[in-house]
Amino acid sequence: MPDDEIVSVTLWAELGAGPLWVTFADEPQMRVPLDVEEFQRYLPLPASLAQAITSWDDELTAIYRGDDPQLWRFESPAVRQDWQGRGRTLAEHLARELPDDMTIGYFGTEIIRRGTRSF
């Protein structure tokens, strides 16, 4: 594992990977997926936020039905939109809990807060 200085965190649910994708200062081109427990070895999170992120991530895993990504089906577009909205809210909560100089993102493309740490 790279050194322990995390410079960015992106909340990103993906089957088989932790929902917190981090970039370390000494490996700026590489994102490493961590589950909540692994992440907390580097930076603590409030228990309620840690549980909410884990539950949010588990929701995506629960709807997976096979090897085809098309089989990740939410019950309806409204349910999917709700799940996505809750994820963005969790990313915003992360931004309030983590150091101000850290970049916080959501699903790889949306920046919730741009940090000042260079990488």
What digits encode the pLDDT tens for the residues 87-105? Answer: 999 999 999 999 999 999 9
Q: What is the pLDDT of residue 61?
A: 84
Question: Is 20 part of a structural domain of the chain?
Answer: yes
Question: Is 63 part of a structural domain of the chain?
Answer: yes
Q: What is the pLDDT of residue 35?
A: 96
Question: Is 1 part of a structural domain of the chain?
Answer: no
Higher pLDDT, 94 or 75: 94
Q: What is the pLDDT of residue 2?
A: 47
- Phi-psi sector, 5: left (phi>0), alpha (psi -120 to 50), beta: beta
66/63 Cα distance (integer angstroms):
10
Question: Is 118 part of a structural domain of the chain?
Answer: no
Domain residues for the domain of 106 are 6-113
Using DSSP's 3-state secondary structure scheme, residue 20 falls into strand
Residue 49 CA neighbour count, 13 Å, CB half: 19
What DSSP state is assigned to residue 34? E
Question: Is 119 part of a structural domain of the chain?
Answer: no
Domain count, the chain: 1
